[in-house]
Amino acid sequence: MKKINILSVLFLTILFNAPLLAQDVNVCMQDLSIFAEFAKVKNFKSAYEPWMNVRRDCPTINVAVYSYGERILKDFIKNGTPEEIEASKKDLILLYDEWVQNFPEKKNKSAIGDILSSKAQSLLDYEMADLKVVYDTFDEAFQKDPDSFTNPKLLYNYFKTLYDRYKAGDQEVTMELLFEKYEEVSEKFEFESTELAKKLDKIIAISSDGTPLSRRDSRNQRVYNINSNAIATFLSNLDAIIAKEATCENLIPLYQRNFEANKGDAVWIKRAASRMDSKECSDDPLFVTLVEALHALDPSADSAYYLGLLNDKRGNSEDALKYYEESITLEEDNYRKAKILLKIANKFKAAGRKSSARSYANKALSLQPSLGRAYLLIANLYADSANDCGDTQFNKRAVYWLAASVARKAGNVDNSLKKVANQTADSYTGRAPSKTDIFTEGNEGATIKFSCWINSSVKVPSL
């Protein structure tokens, strides 16, 4: 009997409160519509009160409570009174925590990394915490949900806060930890860059045969190019600050000291070998030790490439090429394969083997059409051959027209290279025959063939 009475009370409570609950939701929906309209036109002061009502009474009604709420509070921080600024700073940090609690997903995928990294950036921007707290918040975002932690600026600041702690003498931040974090963050940049390249290559494939891009594809291309530029900029900044510490004088003793403890860790060895290669420390005997250990532990595209590099340095060109080809065969991912092919092309370029360098650069482009640096490499190969191709002074200088046209392709397929590609092309054009030279030769519109290794031709421009 007692159990029945309890159930009856619960039923009556729900019954009589149902209209009230429905009324609350209706009010929240009205306020949601009001503050959203105000926020869309950046009237954040008018949006504040209805937004706070919804946030208080219906915190799980819509993610707009948090996405627009972030904008509202940031506007108060920028334009409010001193009291409003301080209160809004604290409330913004609280809002991020509420966001994670109530809307941890976006389109059925975790958004925690994105939200927490934004929280860390706000702590940094508004000087609301010391560097350790800021770094720990970034790190929480990266460890919990790296997939949605993709903002290039925030990824850069994730590492930068650790670097600043290191430079300030924070005993918790060792040089080894600094390099380890650099590798993790730079690998994340490379991953995001590759994902963008895949999307851009699909658009390049559509337009390559002259098919006009749809409005959607054109819009996506602009977005991808903007993101690609941002990644290139912040990755360059990342490399610039680590370059001050990642010298051979620092790297070699550090890796020597830690090799024994990590000789069974393929990831550690690969990162160490990669860093030594990129910093031109590969002449040291430690590099040989690392490469041989890596190949014995985990024969892979990376280890085969490094073995090729070692044989190149020893003058064993045939063995080097064998290992380079093995590296390409072992690599299954086309975008990683393209990067290996470009590395090999650069090695052949440095060795003066221009035809082989072009061949590998073209192979890289066949796998990743948006790999603009391959076009820049080919353009440079052509420009360096100006004195070796052509039977007259005019024809020798005509090679620069060919080099300029290839250089411009780099900017066309990779917007992050647009500036350097155009500057390079303009430089080459400046070395080509002038309009006066064309008039004097009287060969406007003529086709000049290069029978040297270039084995191509160029048309003399019209006056």
pLDDT band at 23 (very low <50, low <70, confident <90, very high): low
**Is the pLDDT confidence value at 14 over 50?**
no
Give the count of alpha carbons within 13 A of 176, CB side only.
Answer: 11
User: Residue 183 and residue 160: Cα distance in Å, rounded?
Assistant: 13
What torsion, rounded to 10 degrees, do the Cα atoms 345, 315, 302, 238 define? Answer: -60
Strand partners, 456: 450
- 35-59 as b/e, with b when 16 or more CB fall inside 10 Å? bbebbeeeebeebbebbbbbbeebb
**Is the pLDDT confidence value at 158 over 50?**
yes
pLDDT band at 33 (very low <50, low <70, confident <90, very high): very high
The whole-number pLDDT of residue 314 equals 87
The whole-number pLDDT of residue 17 equals 40
